[in-house]
Amino acid sequence: MADGKPKVVGFCCEKHGMDSAVLAARSGKQFDASVRLVQVPCAGRVDGMHLLKAFEDGAEAVFVLGCLEKNCYYDTGSIEGRKRVNYVKLMLAEVGIEKERLEMFNAASTNAWAFPEIVSKMVDIAKKLGPIGGGGTQ
Amino acid sequence: MKQVLVIGGGPAGLTATKSLVDRGAEVVLVEKKESLGGMARELTCKGLVECRNCGVCFAIDRANDVLRERNAEVHLLSEVMSVQKSDHGYSVKIKTSPRYVTEDCIGCGKCVVECPVEGKAIFPPTGNGQPRIHWIERGKCLHFKKAKCEKCSSVCPTKAVDYEDRARNVIRNVGAIIYATGIDPIDACEMSRLGCGVLDDVVSSVDAERILNETGKLVRPSDGKAPKKIAVMQCVGSRSVKTGVEYCSKFCCKYATKISQLLLDIDPEINLDFYFVDLRTLYEPQDEFKAWAKAKKTVKLIRTMPAVVSPGKDGKLLVRAATENDLEITETEYDLVILSVGMRPAGANSELGKSLGIAADQTGFAPGGPELEGKGVFVCGAVTEPMDIEETASRAVAAASKIYHMKEEGA
Amino acid sequence: MKAKIQVVLCKCCTEMPALLNMERLQRLAAESNNVLSVLTVDAVCDGKDLAAVVTDAKDKEIDRAVVLACHKKDISPALFKAYKRAGVNEFLVELVNIREEVVLPHTNMPEKAQAKAEAKLKGALARSVMLSPLERQTEEMKTRNVVIIGAGVSGQAAALEASKTGVHTILLEKTGKTIKAPGVIVTHGQLLGASGYGGNYQLKIKAGEKVEELGAAAVVIATGGGWTTLKGSLAKAVRDALPLYKFYEQMQAGSAPKSPVIIVDTPDPAGKTLKVQDYAWDDTLETAIELKKKLPETQVFVVFQEMRAFGLSELAYKEAAELGVKFVRYDTAGTPKIDSKNPTTMSVKDLAQGEILNIKFGTLVFASIPPNQDNKAIADALRIPMSVDGAIRRGSIQRWPVSTPRPGIFVCGSALFPKAKDVAEAEGMAAGAMAGEFVKRGRIEFGGIVAQVTQEKCSACLTCIRTCPYEAPFIGTASKAEIRVQACQGCGMCVGICPSKAIELHNYTDDQIMEETRVLLGGDF
């Protein structure tokens, strides 16, 4: 990160994940610009590889945002997403990367307050922990 | 195909509209308020990680669906002024009040900050109401009084304020009418001994939901601190001879138990006392909430109706109640008290309803029925009897289906 | 074939230019590889602007588009139709949400917003180049049937509604009872098994001694509650105990029940598990009131754990109490007991009085609605989920009521959760209407963003099959996984979980997702 510009990536499902981000934006909520959203059809589509590659490509914090569990548009997708995140957290711990950099969140399309809180939480983590390994990323 | 008029943009009206449009009908939806969603706009999602099936997101998602449908003509800030019987159904006059804000609105809220009126004259949509466009209440706005105030317009980044907006009247010819005017919450202040309206930290469930919906947290209104000991009281206003609401409002136990679970999700260390008369958790086995409460050591289920809520020590609240067996009186202090209120039907006895042949029965609800349906008038949703959002949805699809087949028989 | 991209910058009327430098975005787009045309319009949701986009697309012979506008759901149907007219495959149209991801939340950060918008444009262009054109397909429904399982209150309502839509409706009832349902074929039988996908199910039915195959485009589960099963210590102790519906039938037929009558909420009050033993309060109160009005001398006791008279039934509670019906509440610490050697008295601790009552009874009635025993077999056959308490579980509440996660399968009434008759009827109507509409189309649409297996990589571990809620993956003749495209919903769960990385999701491949992420991370904001 340079000059207080942390790099945060969020994999959002195109159903309630994106809907909650859209509602927050349409309710006038402001949040840090450093978050980059990548849309996926379902949180269950997210592969461990995507999360690890995001860190490799310079992300300092990564999150996955899906529908509330038991309310996933595809029934079990957000639960699958959480499994993937938990699995990759273990892998991060093994290679000495802080587990907090990766997180799973759930939101509903009516939670206008949720998305800004998620962004601010992950941006804070990225700012606090800095680039991975301490040295520069590209 | 003739159009269908839907009066009311709450869960019932929205579901019926979407169902009809999906089947090829054209719908004119008239909503009195500035946004779609009805009471569900101000109710909060009751899950944090796990969905609790309250149905609020269903209503708001349907509102968004309806706004995207070309065959659904939505009139907000509108009312049906008159209905005349015609050859092929009804001729309906709809009056739309001016909103004064165009679709360019991005919801940033700068206008509200700038508005000099006490209590403001420009507002965002209530709760999660859709679409997300602000609106001006003309009666409070200074621009329309002697001072040509233009503070909101000058600060709007997209020039979305339009003082030239005018009221509009349109006439539509429809083949059938759905009357789905919904509910009004009972005012918790009617149960005066429970302190609502007098004590700051006694809130009604409607207020608690509104705050949770906006901020995701419930804090004490008096000092903004997080409450550590909460009392939730059921049946406030319902099943009561005093308020005249002798029926059970059906959804309050469901929503209150889920709010309790949400509050404990947010802060697992809260002590929560759930005062109830009968545990009427809808669509859930009666034991599930009890089992959850038992597992959470800090939740107590107390089967009694508290009599009085009065100020306690150090800014707390004192709740006085008899024990379940009526043998003792307990006095317990809480940081926050939530009164679960029920509902009364809205518009069950309106002039418009009467002109359609809709009238409230002795319970206060407007039940509809075969005679009205034969004339193409369908009453739907919680204005007919107490129901929650999920039941409303099924009923609305059923009513829409009746209309769909009625029209095919040559309306 | 080199990609030929058209970039459309939508101003969202006045919103985009209020924060972003549109010229810089236009220049960036024009200077990018593969971009043949850059258009700026006022509102891509407006018909005139859309027409201009289509004309330009046709003229420049572009094959794909990147549209910077607002939320996908708000413009997509009209936009894709328009691009189709221009000969552009709908799956090659990338929608970038600049409005809600950049403009609205960053109004105080114009430089960062600009850099972010530019990064999103670059990301979308990088992704666009990697996309492939995809085709939606249609398939005719082989048998345009709606099959409704269960001819109770909700089942009959569903059947009548479905047949009104003009589709062939079959009502499958396991008991031999006579059912009057005009326009509906009534078959007495049970569901043994099922296969297929929404629009083309093959059901295996047992009718009498025969096992038959029955095609169905949609299925409605209306199995209701397990009224007829009476299990538990109380039922065992009293041989002639009746379920409530039977008691009511006898009452209607004119018989006078032996007083006192006790109506108990469950035959197994000591049941410790979370069984859906909910009490038919509407019917109980109606029965009790009618009984007291007809035969005021009869003593009636209602023994229960929770008094769940919802809504307007509360008024019936009041009326019943005024007519002299006695209500006795107990809890699991003092459940009702009957001595099987002397089954004439029920002893139960009345919590209101705090004392043990010994109630002599003449007739014992059980009003519980336990889950239907058939639910498990039906859920297994149709591969839909059940709830922990033995009922069928509805799909997520995002979806419509009365639906299950699988397209074409609906569920209504007490199969979901015990409910009053009028609610069950409304749900039946809703399910029947939705099933009828579904089948009326006569064909299903599928394909496009679906999963595909590269068989060489597949290790046949069955993980995808266990993960998919829609029965799309299956082991094919090559002993490797294949995707039944008609059933695939395009969620990508199987893709994310496959340990051999043998499955890809069209237009959401790993490479596409990771490239977009990489480009977005490159921006300086």
CA dist C211 to B202, B245, C186, C192, C193, Å? 64, 55, 16, 9, 10
Is pLDDT at B219 greater than 60 in this prediction?
A: yes
> Considering only CB atoms, which chain A residues are within 8 Å of C396?
67, 70-73, 75
Residues B255, B43: Cα–Cα separation, whole Å:
9
Is pLDDT at A78 greater than 80 in this prediction?
A: yes
Flag whether residue A74 sits within 8 Å of chain B, measured between CB atoms.
no
Cβ atoms of C387 and C415 closer than 8 Å: no
Residues B121, B387: Cα–Cα separation, whole Å:
34
Cβ distance A112 to B56 less than 8 Å, yes or no, reads no
For residue B1, name the pLDDT band (cuts at 50, 70, 90).
Answer: low
* pLDDT (mean) for A13-17: 95
Residues B152, B150: Cα–Cα separation, whole Å:
6
Number of folded domains that form chain A? 1
- The candidate with the shortest Cα–Cα distance to C71, out of C37, C102, C99, C103, is C99
Cβ distance B124 to A27 less than 8 Å, yes or no, reads yes
Q: List phi, psi (to 5°) of A88.
A: -70, -30
Q: For B397, which residue in chain C has the nearest alpha carbon?
A: C430
State the nearest Cα–Cα gap between B400 and chain C, in angstroms.
9
* pLDDT (mean) for C189-205: 94
Residue with token string 């962004």: A119
Residues C31, C38: Cα–Cα separation, whole Å:
10
Interface test with A, best of C514, C515, C519 (most A CBs within 10 A): C514
> Considering only CB atoms, which chain B residues are within 8 Å of A66?
none
- The candidate with the shortest Cα–Cα distance to A42, out of C513, C465, C119, C89, is C513
Q: In 3-state terms, what secondary structure has residue C393?
A: coil
Cβ atoms of B169 and B141 closer than 8 Å: no
Flag whether residue C517 sits within 8 Å of chain A, measured between CB atoms.
yes
In chain B, positions 155-174, which contact chain C (CB-CB < 8 Å)? 157-160
Q: Considering chain C, what is the average pLDDT of its residues? A: 92
In chain C, positions 134-173, which contact chain B (CB-CB < 8 Å)? 161, 164
Cβ distance B397 to C107 less than 8 Å, yes or no, reads no
- The candidate with the shortest Cα–Cα distance to B39, out of B203, B249, B233, B215, is B249
Q: In the structure encoding, which two tokens stand for residue C166, read together?
A: 């003009």
Residue with token string 């089948």: C439
Cβ atoms of B334 and B272 closer than 8 Å: no
Residues A39, A52: Cα–Cα separation, whole Å:
17
CA dist A69 to A77, B210, B279, C321, C511, Å? 8, 23, 25, 43, 28
- The candidate with the shortest Cα–Cα distance to C117, out of C2, C11, C241, is C11
Task: Calculate helix-pair angle for B389-408, B11-22, nearest 10 degrees.
Answer: 40
* pLDDT (mean) for C273-289: 78
Q: In CATH, what number is assigned to the domain containing residue A59?
A: 3.40.50.960
Cβ atoms of C458 and C467 closer than 8 Å: no
Cβ atoms of B10 and B38 closer than 8 Å: yes
**Using one digit for the tens of pLDDT, what is the confidence trace for C222-232?**
998 877 667 77
For residue C8, name the pLDDT band (cuts at 50, 70, 90).
Answer: very high
The parent domain of residue A49 ranges over 8-129
Q: In the structure encoding, which two tokens stand for residue B2, read together?
A: 């003739």
A62 in any annotated domain: yes
Is pLDDT at C415 greater than 60 in this prediction?
A: yes
Q: For C275, which residue in chain B has the nearest alpha carbon?
A: B285
Flag whether residue A71 sits within 8 Å of chain C, measured between CB atoms.
yes
Residue B286 has what pLDDT?
A: 65
**CATH 3.30.70.20 domain locations along chain C:** 448-506
For residue C354, name the pLDDT band (cuts at 50, 70, 90).
Answer: confident
The domain C233-369 is placed in CATH, from the list 3.90.420.10, 3.50.50.60, 3.20.110.20, 3.40.50.720, at: 3.50.50.60
Whether a cis peptide bond, with omega within 30° of 0, leads into C370 is no
Q: Are strands C210-216 and C200-207 parallel, antiparallel or unpaired?
A: antiparallel
In the DSSP assignment, the letter for residue A9 is E
Cβ distance B107 to A108 less than 8 Å, yes or no, reads no
Tell which CATH architecture fits domain B187-342: 3-Layer(bba) Sandwich (3.50)
- The candidate with the shortest Cα–Cα distance to B398, out of C165, C218, C157, is C157
**CATH 3.50.50.60 domain locations along chain C:** 145-226+372-444, 233-369
Angle at C55 between CA C51 and CA C58, to 5 degrees: 135
Percentage of residues in chain C having pLDDT higher than 90: 73
Q: In B211-237, which positions are buried (b, 16+ CB within 10 angstroms) versus exposed (e)? A: bbbeebebebeeeeeebebbbbbbbbb
Cβ distance C306 to B279 less than 8 Å, yes or no, reads yes
Determine which helix (DSSP H) or strand (DSSP E) holds B235, and give its type and residue range.
Answer: strand B229-236
Residues B109, B124: Cα–Cα separation, whole Å:
7
> Considering only CB atoms, which chain A residues are within 8 Å of C112?
33-34
Percentage of residues in chain C having pLDDT higher than 70: 98
Interface test with A, best of B36, B41, B43, B45 (most A CBs within 10 A): B45
Residue C276 has what pLDDT?
A: 46
Taken in order B161, B163, B164, B169, the sign of the CA dihedral is positive
Cβ atoms of C293 and C324 closer than 8 Å: no
Residues C39, B343: Cα–Cα separation, whole Å:
53
Q: Are strands C443-447 and C300-304 parallel, antiparallel or unpaired?
A: unpaired
Name the CATH superfamily housing domain B3-97+167-182+346-408.
FAD/NAD(P)-binding domain (3.50.50.60)
State the nearest Cα–Cα gap between C24 and chain B, in angstroms.
20
Flag whether residue B49 sits within 8 Å of chain A, measured between CB atoms.
yes
Which of the other chains make 3 or more beta carbon contacts under 8 angstroms with chain A? Answer: B, C
Flag whether residue A111 sits within 8 Å of chain B, measured between CB atoms.
yes
**CATH 3.50.50.60 domain locations along chain B:** 3-97+167-182+346-408, 187-342
Flag whether residue A106 sits within 8 Å of chain B, measured between CB atoms.
yes
CA C204 to chain CA centroid, nearest Å: 23
The set of residues, in sequence order, having a beta carbon less than 8 Å from that of B354 and lying 6+ positions away, is none
* pLDDT (mean) for A49-53: 96
Residue C228 has what pLDDT?
A: 63
Residue C216 has what pLDDT?
A: 96
**Using one digit for the tens of pLDDT, what is the confidence trace for C21-42?**
999 999 999 999 999 999 999 9
Residue with token string 């005066």: B192
Flag whether residue A128 sits within 8 Å of chain C, measured between CB atoms.
no
Cβ distance A108 to B109 less than 8 Å, yes or no, reads no
* pLDDT (mean) for A46-53: 96
Cβ distance C496 to A22 less than 8 Å, yes or no, reads no
Residue C341, classified by CB atoms within 10 Å of its CB into exposed (0-12), middle (13-18) or buried (19+), is: exposed
Interface test with B, best of A15, A26, A72 (most B CBs within 10 A): A26
In the DSSP assignment, the letter for residue C100 is I
Interface test with C, best of A1, A19, A36 (most C CBs within 10 A): A36
Q: In 3-state terms, what secondary structure has residue C186?
A: strand
In the DSSP assignment, the letter for residue C101 is I
Q: Considering chain B, what is the average pLDDT of its residues? A: 93
Residue B190 has what pLDDT?
A: 84
Q: Are strands C503-505 and C451-453 parallel, antiparallel or unpaired?
A: antiparallel
Residues C515, A121: Cα–Cα separation, whole Å:
25
Residue A87, classified by CB atoms within 10 Å of its CB into exposed (0-12), middle (13-18) or buried (19+), is: exposed
Cβ atoms of C263 and C320 closer than 8 Å: no
Q: Closest to A41 (Cβ–Cβ): which among C97, C119, C508?
A: C508
- The identity of residue C206, as a single letter, is K
Q: What is the pTM of this model?
A: 0.95
State the nearest Cα–Cα gap between C304 and chain B, in angstroms.
11
Entry field: residues in chain B: 411
Flag whether residue C309 sits within 8 Å of chain B, measured between CB atoms.
yes
Cβ atoms of C110 and C422 closer than 8 Å: no
CATH no. of C5-134 = 3.40.50
Cβ atoms of B299 and B308 closer than 8 Å: no
Q: In 3-state terms, what secondary structure has residue A135?
A: coil
Interface test with C, best of A7, A16, A22 (most C CBs within 10 A): A22
Cβ distance C314 to B239 less than 8 Å, yes or no, reads yes
**Using one digit for the tens of pLDDT, what is the confidence trace for B302-347?**
999 999 999 999 999 999 999 887 789 999 999 999 999 999 999 9
* pLDDT (mean) for C488-496: 96
Tell which CATH architecture fits domain C145-226+372-444: 3-Layer(bba) Sandwich (3.50)
Domain C448-506 class in CATH: alpha beta
Q: In the structure encoding, which two tokens stand for residue C320, read together?
A: 């019943």
Residue C509 has what pLDDT?
A: 96
Q: In the structure encoding, which two tokens stand for residue C287, read together?
A: 């029965």
Cβ distance C15 to B385 less than 8 Å, yes or no, reads no
Residue B50 has what pLDDT?
A: 94
Dihedral in degrees, nearest 10, Cα atoms B133, C94, C516, A78: 60
Structure-model confidence comparison of residues B323 and B299, the more confident one: B299
Is pLDDT at B389 greater than 80 in this prediction?
A: yes
Residues C456, C261: Cα–Cα separation, whole Å:
70
Residues B53, B256: Cα–Cα separation, whole Å:
13
Is pLDDT at C357 greater than 60 in this prediction?
A: yes
